[in-house]
Structure 1
Amino acid sequence: MSAPGDRRSPYIVGPVYDWLFFLSPPLVALALGVAISDTPFSGELLVFWGREKTAAGVLVGSLIHAHLVAVFFRSHGNTSLRKRYPLRFLLVPVLAWALIRGSHVVAAAATVLATFWDVWHSGLQTFGFARIYDRNGGNPPALARRLDFWLNHLLYAGPILAGATMLDHFRSFEALGKVGLPLFSTVPAFMSATHRAWTLGVLIAGGAFLAFYVLASWHLHRQGHRLSFQKVFLLVTTGACSIYTWGFDSWGEAFFIMNLLHAVQYLALVWATERERIRERLRLGRWRASVPVAVAFFLGSVLAYGVAAELLDPDLESLWALTLVVSLMHFWYDGFIWSVGRQQV
């Protein structure tokens, strides 16, 4: 056992930072989503450069695109990582853009892939936070890892399959029907017809797994596994938020809540892990205003892209292809960067 002075902090960054940006976002996003429901902010259509959108849609859409592009601070901003994997970080994005821009079939397939990769990726982000909190609580990094892995996917993907927004996710397959692949365009109809069976399956399998998870956690606790309050709080609030929103809310409200909490957590994570590299890149040194300047550069750059991507004309195929590439690279790069340190988390 480590000496008291050697014990790791139970937080990732610090108590205030973690509670503001990692732990409270599920509840804050849920409260905000409920507060703006059926208000002009979420229901009144406004015209932005010739396109009709709600203010809530522009807000969350811009944050989504901003957090997607922020991954490049973690991948390409890390010189040592970029030099170790030059093809992965320099060639693949260019080839992906060329393929998506040059083929309507590839573009449609990329749209479907991005839709469902997002679901997988979102569950993994919460999983990553949970594993770090568990490790910081004094537990071996590999202990209960697989249990947490499947729990997070159940809490995120389960309500989507079983709930009110299931069909909205599977409508992305309709894009394949428009490019000469009619077989895939029948997927939404099949999922809609079998929705009751999916709901029943998720309830039975999910309920059984949750019971197993509780029993396994109790068994581990009796063997000396230390309970991390931060991990439990994060999993309970995120799971409750996911079940409530994906399971029972309309598509628009659920999309706003879940993507708001995910984007805020991710942007805070990138700043916490990359702030020193950002300051070095900007050659700010240690002068008093270096942190505010670096924060302004980081948030300003990603939010500028986010607003532009949200309001761009979808008929501009080159720019649309770019947003798809950014989305796919976000999921790929972020998963890869998490996996670099997976032995620690």
Structure 2
Amino acid sequence: MANSQGLVDALPLTAAPAQRAPRQNWILDPAQDMAAIILAPLLVLAVALIMFATLGAVAATALIVTTHIVMTVAHHLPTFIRIYGDVELFRRHRATFVIAPLLPFSLSMAAGVWLITHDLPIENLLYVFLLAVIWDPWHFLMQHYGFMRLYDRHNAAPRKLAARMDLLLCASWFIAIMLAAGEWLAGLLEDLYQSAGLPLLLAFPPHMISALQQLSLFVALAATAAYAVYLLWCRRHHYFVSRSKLALFASSFGVMLLTYTPNALIEKLAPGWSFKAGFAAVGIVHMTQYLAIVWRYNRGLAAQPQRARAGWFLRVHARGGWIIGAAYVALCLGYGELLTTNWDSRWLMALLISLGLTSTLMHYYFDGFIWKLRQPDNRGPLALPALANTQPSTTRDQAPASRVALRQLAYFGIPLGVLSVGAVSVWQGAQSDYLAHLLQAQKLSQSGQANGAASEARSAFALMNGQLPIERRLVELHPSADRQAKLALLIYNQSRLEHLVLPTLAHRSPDASGLAEHRDHVREAANWLQLALDSGDPIAHAGRPQMNADGGRRLLAAWLREIEPERSVPH
């Protein structure tokens, strides 16, 4: 459904006003549409809030995220059932369906083999999903937009105007909410740097996110005002506007605004709530909606035996019913569970990660064209009215297989290749953890190996110098407590290494100017740590996974004693 520009074409071409208001159309039926599509965001949020109240923030978040991961992969399977079951669709795109999965799977497996043969953690292979993380917002937005167009298909307003107004409303609020959340963009840029060595976040000027947040909110509010005028115009001309469409928009973006962005209400309803929990909860809704639309399509396809694939596909979908529907959902969940289960075998994990990546990318890619509803073959199973002046669908993959392969190389090979080159540089130590070098320097110093200790210390110092602007920019983009605490530790350790440790290892006494500069850096580090503690949020991070508020206060007190021995830290 996502990327389905064809859903824009779900309305008749005529601009003549309807003589009487048509009844609201449904994808399944009123009750099922309300539960699985329209009110699904509110229902999932209610369940999530109950989990937070009964299990606590940590356990509830873990369960919600795990469910989201399984269901994310689970909802890929309906795409492939749809492709396999529609004989005409498979005929039109045979070359793409066969060739497209080969490249991402092969590249991912090759990277997995490299990791295994070099005795590196197989978890490093997860860098390949960065491409999916980048693609996901567009996929999510276009699925929601597609549902709005389906519910509004009886609107006789000019089709292009209606489609553009719906897209403007959806896109403006989606962008505003994602930017207001802050954590998504900062997290993506951090992952691109840590997993693939791409320091793209340095391209963002200071405070750019804040400016973009204000601009996007202004655009969203202006788009809402324009949409209100459009609705009044439709009413004046007696054009039907779906209330279900408006309810879907309100429930989806209302829940996103509540759960993605920091606000007092969600903190009161669910103490410890995070963007991670909100993103996962809304993501579960995305899956239920997709399962519903594919089930509806396949049921409609089964009513056209000449197009539906003979055998189990036709028999199952022609019969339908609650039992078969439940089996369909169970099969999809089983698929998701299989590809997301952790195993001890590194070879098996490399295979499952590669299959998971291929499943994700093919779901995004195929959905970009298999749902184009301008094609008459795609309108029939969803009971959409025929469009005027449309021609029967023709074969798309008329190019030779070699040209199709080159097209997939551009789609998948280039971005995955860039990510892979960066990931290899990370694996080979170009971005090692400075803490590992510090610990090694300490061990060598304690064993009397001064030269080795000095070498490790210099390596740690070089890595700190490279890491410091990254951490500063991350705090500017999203000033969370854990990032502030991480920056504080980095500032302190870098200064101590430069002004105290390295001179000592070189058999020199620290000079007065260096000590004064060190005190300034310790004071800055203490300020960042104080901000993190004042927020009341967790300050643990990758460098200090066990760090808590008490430990942070003790560390802060030690730093303050180092620069101002007479000062104490209030409790």
Residue aligned with 1:44, SS: helix
Aligned partner of 1:252 in structure 2 is 276
Aligned partner of 1:214 in structure 2 is 228
Q: Displacement of 1:192 after TM fit?
A: 8.2
Equivalent residue for 1:243, pick from 241, 251, 257: 257
- Structure 1 position 70 matched with structure 2 position 88: no
Aligned partner of 2:64 in structure 1 is 56
Distance 1:222 1:267, change over 3 A: same
Rg comparison, structure with higher value: 2
Q: Displacement of 1:339 after TM fit?
A: 2.0
Cα pair 1:44 1:54 within 8 Å, conserved: yes
Q: Displacement of 1:43 after TM fit?
A: 2.4
Q: Distance in 2 between matches of 1:243 and 1:111?
A: 26
Distance 1:221 1:296, change over 3 A: closer
For each residue in 1:42-92, what CA deviation from the matched residue of structure 2 results, as whole angstroms up to 9, or x when unmatched? 6239xxxxxxx9333332221121112321122233221011111211110
Q: Distance in 2 between matches of 1:67 and 1:306?
A: 8
Q: Distance in 2 between matches of 1:173 and 1:233?
A: 34
Q: 1:206 is aligned with what amino acid?
A: A
Cα pair 2:42 2:251 within 8 Å, conserved: yes
Aligned partner of 1:311 in structure 2 is 341
Aligned partner of 1:128 in structure 2 is 146
Aligned partner of 1:172 in structure 2 is 188
Aligned partner of 2:358 in structure 1 is 325
For each residue in 1:129-171, what CA deviation from the matched residue of structure 2 results, as whole angstroms up to 9, or x when unmatched? 11111113555544410111121122323211112xx323442
Cα pair 2:260 2:278 within 8 Å, conserved: yes
Aligned partner of 2:28 in structure 1 is 13
Q: Distance in 2 between matches of 1:268 and 1:279?
A: 20
Distance 1:311 1:255, change over 3 A: farther
Cα pair 1:175 1:185 within 8 Å, conserved: no
Q: Distance in 2 between matches of 1:318 and 1:186?
A: 34
Cα pair 1:114 1:327 within 8 Å, conserved: yes
For each residue in 1:96-146, what CA deviation from the matched residue of structure 2 results, as whole angstroms up to 9, or x when unmatched? 211233358xx7775333113211111111111111111135555444101
Equivalent residue for 2:89, pick from 81, 88, 97: 81
Q: Distance in 1 between matches of 2:195 and 2:342?
A: 23
Q: Distance in 2 between matches of 1:16 and 1:279?
A: 30
Q: Distance in 2 between matches of 1:253 and 1:15?
A: 29
Equivalent residue for 1:301, pick from 307, 315, 331: 331
Cα pair 1:64 1:259 within 8 Å, conserved: yes
Q: 2:42 is aligned with what amino acid?
A: L
Cα pair 1:74 1:270 within 8 Å, conserved: yes
Distance 1:270 1:288, change over 3 A: closer
Q: 1:270 is aligned with what amino acid?
A: V
Q: 2:370 is aligned with what amino acid?
A: I
Distance 1:79 1:183, change over 3 A: same
Q: 2:366 is aligned with what amino acid?
A: Y
Structure 1: tracts of 5 or more residues without a match: 46-52
- Structure 1 position 271 matched with structure 2 position 295: yes
Residue aligned with 2:164, SS: helix
Cα pair 2:18 2:240 within 8 Å, conserved: no
Distance 1:29 1:139, change over 3 A: farther
Between Structure 1 and Structure 2, how many residues are aligned? 332
Higher relative contact order (CA 8 A, sep 6+): 1
Distance 1:143 1:135, change over 3 A: farther
Q: 1:26 is aligned with what amino acid?
A: P
